[in-house]
Amino acid sequence: MPRITTADGTGIFYKDWGSGRPVVFSHGWPLNADAWDEQLRLLAEDGYRAVAHDRRGHGRSDQPWQGNDMDTYADDLAALIEHLDLRDAVLVGHSTGGGEVARYIGRHGTARVRKAVLLGAVPPVMLQSASNPEGTPMEVFDGIRAGVAADRSQFYWDLSESFYGFNRPGAEVSEGTRRAFWLMGMQAGLRGAYECIKQFSETDFTEDLQRIDVPTLIAHGDDDQIVPLQASALKTAQHVPDNILKIYEGGSHGLYGAYRAAFETDLLEFVAD
């Protein structure tokens, strides 16, 4: 399996499909690069070099005890980009991966970056506070921690329902999609998955967003039950100067069905310019 070794000795698995201008994907929690397989294939078949990695602690990457923090996630992404010598790249991040992309730009700049895509992304900050009343209360994240610690298998299975909006009346439920989500979650190490909860919920990406100086597609479903639209994309658009804001009616957090098809159309159009 293709891997790089980071500065602290952690092995990071990655996929590298196709050739052409690079499009680099960062996945959400608690998933891995497989969550992007449909989009990786789509881009590679359309003449791009599609790259995706498993975040440390997740999937086929190493599961270190230390380094499960957003700065290190961003530095791991930088190590991958530099190892493959990717230039003029489009960075695409979903959910926690959107935070990873923002923090990468905040720490490493855009010398190798052409554009960015933030899909259902956690910035600016998820946690509710006096300055962020639209955010999610801490007790929700404490509940996620408790669920992962007590019975992560059942927790991931239950989470898959709202993740894809399958709990909505009349929703077309895909048990296969739920099983795939569960499997990817179970491939994440307990330490890495648990520590990542604090990173996606409490990290403030405001300054990172303000450093994004490339065209950015901000894409979000208006029925996202995991990362609510009002506390995320709508605020992110206020901090990123050159942005296109796309809100998908009925779109959930995870890509599925009509939402996936619409996003893929917009993604191909955006990366082609």
pLDDT of residue 98: 98
Specify the pairing of strand 49-53 against strand 11-17: antiparallel
Which entry of 95, 160, 201, 232 is annotated as an active-site residue?
95
pLDDT digits (tens, 9 = 90+) for 59-83: 999 999 999 999 999 999 999 999 9
What average pLDDT score do residues 24-28 get? 98
Look up the CATH superfamily of 3-272.
Answer: Alpha/Beta hydrolase fold, catalytic domain (3.40.50.1820)
The mean predicted confidence, pLDDT, of the chain is: 98
For residue 25, list its beta bridge partners.
52, 92
- Where does 122-205 have alpha helices with state H? 138-163, 175-187, 190-202
pLDDT of residue 189: 98
pLDDT of residue 146: 98
CA distance 91 to 114: 8
Which entry of 27, 53, 94, 253 is annotated as an active-site residue?
253
What average pLDDT score do residues 98-127 get? 98
**Is residue 95 flagged as an active site residue?**
yes
pLDDT band, residue 168 (cuts 50/70/90): very high
For 65, counting Cβ atoms within 10 Å of its Cβ (0-12 exposed, 13-18 middle, 19+ buried), the class is exposed
Q: In what order do the strands lie in the sheet with 243-248?
A: 3-5, 11-17, 49-53, 22-26, 89-94, 113-119, 216-221, 243-248
Answering whether pTM is above 0.85, one says: yes
pLDDT band, residue 273 (cuts 50/70/90): confident
Secondary structure (3-state) at 103 = helix
What average pLDDT score do residues 104-111 get? 98
pLDDT of residue 1: 80
pLDDT digits (tens, 9 = 90+) for 229-254: 999 999 999 999 999 999 999 999 99
Which entry of 224, 232, 239, 252 is annotated as an active-site residue?
224
**Is residue 224 flagged as an active site residue?**
yes
CA distance 262 to 273: 18
Q: Where are the domains of the chain?
A: 3-272
Q: Which of 55, 49, 96, 91 is nearest to 75 (CA)?
A: 55
The identity of residue 55, as a single letter, is R
Verify cis geometry, omega within 30 degrees of 0, for the bond prior to 123: no
Q: What percent of the chain has pLDDT over 90?
A: 99
What average pLDDT score do residues 131-159 get? 97
Residue that is written with structure tokens 């490339």 in the block: 214
Whether residue 84 is predicted with pLDDT greater than 90 in this model: the reply is yes
